[in-house]
Amino acid sequence: MGTDYNEYRREMVTLHLPFRHEESEILAESRYLQLYEENEALILDRRKEFESNLDIEKTLEICRELCREYVSDDGEEINDVVSRIPNENPFAELYHNPNADLNDDLRLALFDKLGSIAKKKDNILPYPEFYGLMRKANEEQREILFHTIHHSISNNEPMQKPLLIYLTGPAGSGKTFVIKALMEIYNRFSDTDGIFNAYIACASTGKAATAIGGTTVHNALSISLSRLLPLNIEKAHQYRALFELIKVIIIDEVSMVSSELLEQINERLKHITGLFTKAFGGLDEILFGD
């Protein structure tokens, strides 16, 4: 509970008190604890100011109306949803057997828990469009893309080493184009179950992550802003099951990722996959930066 309360105080300080550098002014030496104690009254007043206009009853009524709009009289939609609800604790089998196969209930539960991280696989481009995408690449870009295709096709060969690539270039050099092309390649040539993308796309900032349809590094791998905390047993099994389907981690704006955070990513992936002797847990790692 103490950790949760400290996290609450950190959030309140960052939301309601002005600062320039979060790392040095708030996170360093847990300064947010002292800042919260010194400004508790001000923080509470600002919370009231921002939250006082929220009409809970009206919001709930709007939600009820929206629910009624999408439920037909014969209840078919309700029955369909109920039929898709997994059995209680679908991860229980993984607690006893970490190598258990992913059944339908587990896939559905994974999508519910971690779908915002891996994302549902989009339709793969028809071959004519895929060929057109490849033709748009310049010579240097095409070299990387062809190398990745060859690697993906040969992924099951013995002694196959994971890709560790760092691509750099100024703004407008086509990094986002290459990221999108790599996403298509991994989904097209990776042997996965077809529900999740074969990649996790993330970035150092929310703005950069949005541009590539991904999430932040911290959210993707459950990394705290202050330090790397161990995953609880349920979360660890969820990630382990998900990463049976993931082939590559794509990180944009890596130039804004500190060496400490990069090492935390490395350690987190090792713990998720259980491959402690391999960099980034044996996954392909493709980094983009300026």
127-135 vs 175-189: helix crossing angle, rounded to 10: 150
First to last CA, the chain: 41
**Contact between 225 and 234 (Cβ < 8 Å):** no
pLDDT of residue 117: 81
If we measure between CA atoms, which residue out of 141, 252, 250 comes closest to residue 186? 250
What are the φ and ψ backbone dihedral angles of 288, each rounded to 5 degrees? -125, 140
Phi-psi region of 148 (alpha: psi -120 to 50; beta: other; left: phi over 0): alpha
Residues of the chain with CATH 3.40.50.300: 127-289
**CA 153/CA 149 separation, integer angstroms:** 6
Give the pLDDT of residue 71. Answer: 46
| Element holding 261 (H helix, E strand) | helix 259-273
Say how far apart CA 197 and CA 60 lie, in whole Å: 34
To the question of pTM greater than 0.75 for the whole model, the response is no
Tokens of 276: 């402690």
Please check whether residue 247 is in contact with residue 198, taking contact to mean a CB–CB distance below 8 angstroms. yes
Query: pLDDT tens, position by position, for the chain (290 residues)?
Result: 445 667 778 888 888 788 777 777 888 878 888 888 888 888 777 776 665 555 556 655 665 565 554 444 455 544 554 444 444 555 455 545 555 555 555 565 566 667 678 777 776 888 889 989 999 999 999 999 999 999 888 876 667 789 999 999 888 889 999 999 999 999 988 876 667 889 999 999 888 999 998 999 999 998 987 778 888 887 888 888 888 889 999 999 998 999 999 999 999 999 998 889 999 999 999 999 98
Strand pairing partners for 164? 285
The pLDDT value recorded for residue 70 is: 46
How is domain 127-289 classified at the architecture level of CATH? 3-Layer(aba) Sandwich (3.40)
- Edge-to-edge strand list for the sheet holding 248-252: 164-168, 284-289, 248-252, 199-203, 215-216
Q: Are 194 and 204 in contact (CB under 8 A)?
A: no
Residue-wise burial string across 198-221, b where 16 or more C-beta atoms lie within 10 A, e elsewhere: bbbbbbbeeebbeebebbbbbebb
Tell me, what's the pLDDT at 81? Answer: 43
Phi–psi pair at 220, nearest 5 degrees: -60, -40
Place of tokens 């960052």: 14
